[in-house]
């Protein structure tokens, strides 16, 4: 059986070349997690007898393996072009709230992630997750894509240092004219937009690689100081050890991490552990749901009812990935919004995801130099797709108060709280309330009321300090 028939490429109006380009695009957009995840988790994970760099490398490898496990399910079972990896918000919660804040051993935190993954597998198998997601109001479903777009744009502009912190206004315009990162990043965005507007296939890849090469060239040529456009540690390691030395010096043995969750299960304090599991569960549930719906809308995967056919299959991918990740030694795995970059590049099937998984595996020998592509170059993809994803707002009936209010809250709350889950929750809560106030309570399903009530409780628990 060939790739064409296995992935139904003809039925999805795509081909092998388009899928490979899309996979490479998604990989470049989300490859930063190979560096960022161990950076975050190593704040909380320490292993006796191993140095911090060795622990970092262990986590980097488990990050890759967990991502690949999830993506194999997504590619071969779900046949969807969605990349998966440990979620950024969830790994921060793992490290800073659970381990460092609550004082829970990191092994027990992994046990909580494992339990969450098992719950997800069961709920997905019986169709409960898909049922809940299909309760989402239509305006929220249509607004998710635009909300994610604003979120992506916001993240990208911060990475370029175009938007920076300000004590008076929270954010403000950075010193763009004198900042090499901002100048090069925006130059890359302009180049990529021009290529995309011309309809050039792989424009996002070209923009990312061109910008990365320019950053290295300006650094090695002495035009820009070391460490500004290229990570100083990468430069130093390569100069001191050579590429071969950096590669061969990697800590490949992950046995101190793999299986640590079993030890964690023996140190469980029921009440706190339950809160941790529920928080992981809730945030992961709605992050994944929002991301899937947003990308599906963007890629025209939704049916006439605004639902993603056979949603249980991609949901199973993140459930399996989370479980495997906990067993290996990393935090919750979720579907990545950066998958939108691959969809924009033409990805329509699991072959895209299979390419992403293969490229992740190829990074194992290079985890020590994984930051060779500067993050500002990779984040060009986020800015481009963030702008493009605004197209979803045309399907929203802005004259209907229930639609306009719930959609507007969904779109704005996501970037302002740095959370897809919070944006979704705001939209889901507001919809039945405004609908009822408009005299249309009979159109609201009981499940939508119940979902809104649960989310009110979620916001209270999240903001009341109960977990601190």
What is the Cα–Cα distance from 113 to 276, expressed in whole angstroms? 9
pLDDT at 90: 80
| In contact, 82 and 292? CB cutoff 8 Å | yes
What is the Cα–Cα distance from 158 to 138, expressed in whole angstroms? 31
**Bigger pLDDT: 449 vs 462:** 449
| In contact, 114 and 327? CB cutoff 8 Å | yes
Pull the structure tokens for residue 421: 């889950």
Strand pairing class (333-335; 84-86): antiparallel
Pull the structure tokens for residue 467: 């977990």
For residue 420, pLDDT beyond 80: no
Instruction: For residue range 52-111, list pLDDT tens digits in order.
Output: 878 888 999 999 999 999 999 999 999 999 999 998 778 887 888 788 887 889 999 999
Q: Comparing C-alpha atoms, which of 433, 146, 391, 111 is closest to residue 293? A: 146
pLDDT at 268: 80
Which residues, including other chains, have CB under 8 Å from residue 395's CB and lie 6 or more apart? 142
What is the Cα–Cα distance from 57 to 193, expressed in whole angstroms? 36
What is the Cα–Cα distance from 203 to 211, expressed in whole angstroms? 12
| In contact, 59 and 345? CB cutoff 8 Å | no
For residue 201, pLDDT beyond 70: no
Q: Comparing C-alpha atoms, which of 140, 144, 131 is closest to residue 427? A: 140
Percent of the chain predicted with pLDDT > 90: 47
Strands (E), 157-275: 163-166, 170-173
Which residues, including other chains, have CB under 8 Å from residue 436's CB and lie 6 or more apart? 444
What is the Cα–Cα distance from 310 to 236, expressed in whole angstroms? 49
What is the DSSP secondary structure assignment for residue 175, as one 8-state letter?
-
For residue 467, pLDDT beyond 60: no
- The mean pLDDT value for 274-299 works out to 80
| In contact, 94 and 109? CB cutoff 8 Å | yes
What is the Cα–Cα distance from 419 to 151, expressed in whole angstroms? 8
Tell me the longest C-alpha to C-alpha distance in the chain.
71
Strands (E), 305-434: 333-335
What b-and-e string marks burial along 189-201, b requiring 16 or more CB atoms within 10 Å of the CB?
bebbbebbeeeee
What is the Cα–Cα distance from 323 to 333, expressed in whole angstroms? 8
Model's pTM, two decimal places?
A: 0.76
What is the DSSP secondary structure assignment for residue 48, as one 8-state letter?
T
- Residue 333 binned pLDDT confidence (cut-offs 50, 70, 90): very high
pLDDT at 168: 93
For residue 468, pLDDT beyond 60: no
Give the count of beta carbons closer than 10 Å to the beta carbon of residue 291.
27
**Where is average pLDDT lowest: 88-97, 175-184, 377-386, 458-467?**
458-467
Pull the structure tokens for residue 59: 């986590």
What is the Cα–Cα distance from 191 to 104, expressed in whole angstroms? 47
Residues pairing with 85 in the sheet? 334
Instruction: For residue range 355-391, list pLDDT tens digits in order.
Output: 999 999 999 988 876 657 787 887 888 888 888 888 7
- Residue 118 binned pLDDT confidence (cut-offs 50, 70, 90): very high
- Residue 188 binned pLDDT confidence (cut-offs 50, 70, 90): very high
∠ CA(451), CA(306), CA(82), 5° rounding? 90
- Residue 196 binned pLDDT confidence (cut-offs 50, 70, 90): confident
What is the DSSP secondary structure assignment for residue 50, as one 8-state letter?
S
Instruction: For residue range 254-264, list pLDDT tens digits in order.
Output: 999 999 999 99
| DSSP 3-state of 163 | strand
Supply the mean pLDDT for the chain: 88
């Amino acid at each position: 059986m060939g790739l064409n028939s296995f992935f139904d490429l003809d039925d999805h109006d795509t081909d092998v070349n388009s899928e490979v380009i899309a996979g490479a695009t998604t990989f470049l957009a989300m490859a930063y997690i190979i560096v960022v995840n161990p950076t975050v988790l190593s704040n909380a994970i320490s292993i006796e007898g191993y140095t911090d760099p060795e622990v970092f490398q262990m986590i980097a490898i488990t990050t890759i393996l967990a991502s690949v496990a999830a993506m194999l399910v997504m590619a071969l079972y779900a046949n969807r072009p969605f990349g998966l990896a440990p979620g950024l918000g969830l790994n921060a919660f793992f490290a800073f709230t659970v381990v460092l804040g609550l004082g829970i051993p990191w092994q027990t935190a992994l046990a909580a992630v494992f339990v969450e993954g098992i719950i997800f597998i069961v709920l997905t198998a019986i169709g409960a997750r898909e049922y809940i997601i299909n309760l989402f109001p239509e305006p929220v479903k249509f607004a998710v894509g635009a909300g994610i777009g604003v979120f992506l744009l916001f993240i990208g502009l911060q990475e370029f240092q175009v938007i920076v912190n300000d004590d008076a206004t929270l954010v403000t315009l950075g010193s763009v004219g004198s900042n090499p990162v901002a100048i090069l990043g925006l130059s890359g965005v302009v180049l990529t937009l021009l290529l995309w507007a011309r309809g050039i296939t792989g424009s996002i890849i070209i923009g990312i690689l061109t910008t990365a090469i320019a950053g290295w060239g300006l650094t090695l040529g002495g035009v820009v100081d070391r460490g500004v456009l290229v990570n100083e540690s990468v430069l130093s390691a390569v100069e001191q050890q050579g590429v071969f030395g950096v590669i061969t010096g990697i800590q490949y043995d992950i046995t101190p991490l793999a299986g640590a969750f079993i030890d964690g299960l023996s140190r469980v304090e029921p009440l706190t552990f339950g809160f941790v599991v529920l928080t992981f569960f809730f945030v992961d549930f709605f992050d994944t749901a929002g991301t899937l719906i947003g990308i599906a809308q963007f890629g025209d995967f939704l049916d006439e009812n605004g639902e993603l056919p056979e949603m249980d299959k991609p949901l199973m991918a993140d459930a399996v990935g989370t479980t495997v990740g906990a067993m290996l030694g990393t935090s919750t795995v979720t579907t990545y919004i950066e998958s939108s970059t691959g969809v924009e590049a033409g990805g329509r099937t699991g072959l895209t995801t299979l390419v992403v998984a293969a490229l992740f595996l190829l990074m194992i020998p290079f985890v020590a130099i994984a930051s060779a592509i500067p993050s500002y170059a990779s984040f060009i993809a986020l800015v481009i797709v963030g702008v493009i994803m605004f197209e979803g707002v045309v399907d929203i009936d802005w004259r209907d108060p229930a639609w306009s209010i719930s959609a507007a809250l969904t779109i704005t709350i996501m970037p302002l709280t740095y959370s897809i889950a919070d944006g979704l929750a705001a939209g889901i809560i507001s919809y039945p309330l405004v609908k009822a106030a408009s005299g249309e309570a009979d159109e609201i399903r009981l499940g939508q009321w119940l979902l809104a009530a649960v989310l009110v409780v979620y916001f209270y628990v999240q903001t009341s300090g109960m977990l601190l």
